[in-house]
Amino acid sequence: MPECRTCGGALTEVYDFGRQPLSDAFLEPDKLEGEFFYRLTVGMCGACTMVQLMEEVPRDKMFHEDYPYYSSGSEVMRKHFEHTARAFLDTELTGPDPFIVEIGSNDGVMLKAIADAGVKHLGVDPSGAVTERARSKGIRTRTAFFEESEALAVVAAEGNADVIFAANTICHIPYLDSIFRGVAALLKPNGIFVFEDPYLGDIVERASFDQIYDEHFYLFTARAVRNMARRFGLELVDVEHFGVHGGEVRYTIARQGAREPKPAVEELLAEEDARGLAQLSTLEEFGMRVTAIKDDLVTLLTKLRYEGKRVVAYGATAKSATVANLCGLGPDLVEFVCDITPQKQNRVTPGSHIPVRGPEAFRDPYPDYALLFAWNHADEILAKEQEFRRNGGKWILYVPDVHTV
């Protein structure tokens, strides 16, 4: 029986996405040999309710010198993190010697405003090129995997932190025990650990199955996070639900007894129970919707090919690896994917080998249909690409079901 990565309880498989590549490994077109694949299956723990991947990809294969995701690429996310930084500056970072540590600080999208305010900060992120970008903006950053030993090194060198923040990172880390031990060692007595990640409640509601890929090892709920925290003498004291990245929850964790849990925690737990988020049947129903979406998308794209329509995709997201490889998409069905990230351009998508071009290729000339892989940035992208629809173009979306707009 497979075991839960965090508590050792029995894990039950919920969906098998089959053979999948590394979601962020964009390949040079003439160097396709030796591509790495693993089996993407997702399961739920019967003991602690944590939903998680059943096979772990070695961390250095995902996060390394050439990790190509730069957080500052989205205007909406830049604003979201600037707002986050300001909120910390106004609340938790007002004491005599405030210190904030960010796990997964990437190119410094959140810490920039903290550094500009002259407040002591430290980013910890293992990916070389993105941390170099952060340092070039004046943000103090260690290129390292955060884990217990790294946390102890930070305490020794810098002292304890008022706030440990992480966005779209904690769900990437299978070795959560080490993270929580590290957090417990690094926090000041009244410090808080705040992290936000895609929320299982939204994933189930929108059938957004492409949130499941190698880097997204855990799909959190408040229930699972609270169970996790309690094993380390910590308590979930607040939760906040946001719309960014297709629906996320921000969890605030403090030492047990240090802060009174806000009513929002019990409210979200009750909502999760009412929705059956810890029930296998709920996830099995989600799995049936995934299969229906897969069938509908393949049917639509095949029909468009027979009709001679041009289809391209928009946003070479990590998420799209799951869609493309589950559905068997390739350059026969999707001509190319456009993306603003220079490190992804002139390469091909992992596993599906669809060419990646810059955003200018989208307009040259406009295709008939655009498959919106970056659906989580739909507002931002549809606003800047209004000309596409004026020219008769249509967007294809596949969550919560396959439809065109």
Binding site for ligand TMP (CB under 6 A): 73-74, 315-319, 339-341, 344, 374, 376-377, 380-381
- Using CA atoms, how far apart are residues 377 and 24, in angstroms rounded to an integer? 18
3-state SS assignment for residue 45: strand
112 contacts: CB under 8 Å, gap ≥ 6: 82, 85, 137, 139
> The tokens of 149 are what?
């030993």
Q: Comparing C-alpha atoms, which of 164, 91, 94, 172 is closest to residue 126?
A: 172
Q: What is the CB neighbour count within 10 angstroms for residue 237?
A: 22
Q: Taking the complex as a whole, how short is the minimal distance between the CB of residue 290 and ligand SAM, in angstroms?
A: 22
Chosen from ligand TMP, Zn ion, ligand SAM, none, partner binding at 125 (C-beta under 5 to 8 Å by type): ligand SAM
Chosen from Zn ion, ligand TMP, ligand SAM, none, partner binding at 63 (C-beta under 5 to 8 Å by type): ligand SAM
- Using CA atoms, how far apart are residues 42 and 64, in angstroms rounded to an integer? 25
- Using CA atoms, how far apart are residues 374 and 318, in angstroms rounded to an integer? 9
Told to check if 317 binds ligand SAM by CB under 6 A, we report: no
Q: Taking the complex as a whole, how short is the minimal distance between the CB of residue 368 and ligand TMP, in angstroms?
A: 20
- Using CA atoms, how far apart are residues 340 and 359, in angstroms rounded to an integer? 6
Question: Count of residues binding ligand SAM (CB under 6 A)?
Answer: 21
Phi/psi of residue 192, nearest 5 degrees: -130, 150
Q: Comparing C-alpha atoms, which of 305, 312, 396, 315 is closest to residue 362?
A: 312
> The tokens of 100 are what?
């904030």
Told to check if 123 binds ligand SAM by CB under 6 A, we report: no
Residue 143 · residue 131 · CB < 8 Å: yes
Residue from 7, 122, 125, 251 touching ligand SAM (CB under 6 A): that is 125
Q: Which residue is nearest to ligand TMP (CB)?
A: 315
Q: Taking the complex as a whole, how short is the minimal distance between the CB of residue 285 and ligand SAM, in angstroms?
A: 28
Chosen from ligand SAM, ligand TMP, Zn ion, none, partner binding at 9 (C-beta under 5 to 8 Å by type): Zn ion
Told to check if 124 binds ligand SAM by CB under 6 A, we report: yes
Residue from 7, 93, 100, 103 touching ligand SAM (CB under 6 A): that is 103
Residue from 168, 208, 252, 317 touching ligand SAM (CB under 6 A): that is 168
> x/- site string to ligand SAM, residues 70 to 99, per CB under 6 A?
-x----------------------------
Torsion angle of the four alpha carbons 273, 197, 398, 26, in this order, in degrees rounded to the nearest 10? -150
Query: Footprint of Zn ion on this chain (CB under 5 A)?
Result: 4, 7, 9, 45, 47-48, 50
Query: Footprint of ligand SAM on this chain (CB under 6 A)?
Result: 63, 67, 69, 71, 103-104, 106, 109, 124-127, 130, 145-147, 167-169, 172-173
